[in-house]
């Protein structure tokens, strides 16, 4: 079968591999779609934490079942997966947090992923397709990341939520903040992405901190209160550190974006707000099911996100272009 391997930062190679054998407790999948996410792009750049080379990338997927023994799932069924494989026996797993398992193996990061014709996964990771298209199924996982961050922040109806970073994860976060009833503010340094927020997601307020005084504009939007929830979806150290000043007194700051460095902020400024700082890692089955339910109700149109489409054979040549802001990539979708 065909595979695509990221051998070192900036380098891909196509290779033939043996088809995986079906084994007990696992399900064999025929891959149909793979979405390209920030994790894949950062791996290509060499800036992805928790990563080793060589690696087959890919964890946003849609597939048909080739073979399974898992109750409730059938051969030929269209599915997606929860791509964070957990041990089931650590403190996080016992606490209902398999998304931050102490022995977590994310496919395409810690172990090889889905950029191949066939892929074997633990059967417990399967998620029913519920009649969604392959494109929609491949977008469930990135949207679940955003949905999880909104659940972590316990967003309430009517509160102001600032989402910093209008990439795919940030956009999904905005969607689920809106669904929770929040008043959403989008912040990004790329005007084309802010325009996307207004036109496609109907976000009322946008801020470009490279051309506007972000603190003053946030104060004006919130009548001097500042956002009660700030969510970083940039993974950019400067943006993460800067956003501490945007939190309302009593507010929450949720880090979804990930980078390799150490964050720093003024302790007195943070302390006087009695602010809450938390991370949001991956997502749980509850989040996946919430995303699928929202798609089926028409509350989220996942096809808005797909700006670039390629066949599997084109990925190696096209990948570097997806890193260039001028190409306007929101989500690249690979067809196998």
Domain residue limits at 201 = 145-279
Q: Is the residue at 179 inside a domain?
A: yes
Q: How far apart are CA 71 and CA 73, in angstroms?
A: 6
Q: Is the residue at 273 inside a domain?
A: yes
Q: Is the residue at 296 inside a domain?
A: no
Tell me: do 163 and 81 sit in the same domain.
no
Q: Which residues contact 175 (CB under 8 A, 6 or more apart)?
A: 143, 146, 201, 300
Tell me: do 22 and 45 sit in the same domain.
yes
Q: Which of 69, 63, 54, 67 is nearest to 83 (CA)?
A: 63
pLDDT tens per residue, the chain (336 residues)? 999 999 999 999 999 999 998 889 999 999 999 999 888 988 888 877 778 899 999 999 999 999 999 999 999 999 999 999 999 999 999 999 999 999 999 999 999 999 999 999 999 999 999 999 999 999 999 999 999 999 999 999 999 999 999 999 999 999 999 999 999 999 999 999 999 999 999 998 999 999 999 999 999 999 999 999 999 999 899 999 999 999 999 999 999 998 888 999 999 999 999 999 999 999 999 999 999 999 999 999 988 899 999 999 999 999 999 988 888 889 999 999
What distance, in Å, lies between the first and last C-alpha atoms of the chain? Answer: 11
Q: How far is CA 171 from CA 115, 140, 302, 330, 331, in A?
A: 24, 13, 11, 9, 11
Tell me: do 100 and 131 sit in the same domain.
yes
Which pTM was predicted? 0.94
Q: Is the residue at 49 inside a domain?
A: yes
Tell me: do 157 and 266 sit in the same domain.
yes
Number of domains in the chain: 2
Indicate the average pLDDT of the chain. 95
Q: Is the residue at 12 inside a domain?
A: yes
Q: Indicate the SS3 state at residue 85.
A: strand
Tell me: do 113 and 94 sit in the same domain.
yes
Q: Which residues contact 300 (CB under 8 A, 6 or more apart)?
A: 143, 175, 179, 291, 294
Q: Is the residue at 109 inside a domain?
A: yes
CB atoms within 10 A of CB 54: 13
pLDDT for res 261: 84
Q: Is the residue at 247 inside a domain?
A: yes
CB atoms within 10 A of CB 251: 21
Q: Which of 316, 280, 336 is nearest to 15 (CA)?
A: 316
Q: What is the CATH number of the domain that holds 210?
A: 3.40.50.720
Q: What is the CATH number of the domain that holds 100?
A: 3.90.180.10
Q: How far apart are CA 285 and CA 104, in angstroms?
A: 15
Q: Is the residue at 235 inside a domain?
A: yes
CB atoms within 10 A of CB 189: 17
Tell me: do 315 and 255 sit in the same domain.
no
């Amino acid at each position: 079968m065909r595979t695509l391997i990221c051998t070192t930062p900036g380098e891909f190679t196509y290779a033939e591999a043996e088809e995986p054998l079906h084994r007990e407790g696992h399900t064999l999948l025929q891959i149909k779609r793979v979405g390209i996410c920030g994790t894949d792009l950062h791996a290509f750049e060499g800036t992805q934490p928790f990563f080793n080379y060589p690696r087959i990338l890919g964890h946003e997927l849609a597939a048909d079942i080739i073979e399974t023994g898992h109750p409730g799932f059938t051969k030929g069924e269209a599915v997606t997966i929860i791509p964070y494989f957990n041990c089931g026996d650590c403190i996080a797993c016992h606490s209902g947090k398999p998304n931050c398992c102490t022995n977590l193996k994310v496919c395409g990061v810690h172990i090889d992923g889905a950029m191949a014709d066939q892929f074997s996964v633990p059967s417990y990771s399967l998620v029913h397709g519920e009649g969604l298209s392959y494109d929609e199924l491949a977008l469930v996982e990135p949207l679940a990341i955003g949905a999880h961050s909104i659940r972590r922040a316990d967003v309430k109806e009517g509160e102001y939520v600032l989402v910093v970073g209008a990439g795919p994860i940030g956009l999904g976060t905005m969607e689920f903040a809106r669904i929770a009833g929040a008043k959403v503010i989008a912040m990004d340094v790329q005007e084309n992405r802010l325009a996307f927020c207004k036109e496609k997601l109907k976000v009322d307020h946008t801020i470009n901190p490279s051309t506007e005084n972000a603190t003053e504009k946030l104060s004006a939007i919130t009548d001097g209160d500042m956002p009660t929830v700030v969510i970083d979806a940039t993974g950019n150290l400067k943006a993460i550190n800067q956003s501490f000043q945007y939190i309302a007194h009593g507010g929450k700051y949720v880090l979804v974006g990930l980078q390799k460095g150490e964050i720093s902020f003024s302790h007195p400024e943070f302390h006087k707000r009695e602010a809450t700082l938390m991370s949001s890692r991956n997502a749980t089955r509850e989040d996946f099911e919430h995303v699928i339910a929202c798609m089926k109700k028409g509350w989220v149109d996942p096809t808005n996100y797909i700006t670039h489409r390629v066949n599997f054979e084109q990925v190696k040549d096209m990948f570097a272009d997806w890193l260039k802001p001028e190409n306007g990539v929101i989500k690249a979708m690979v067809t196998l």
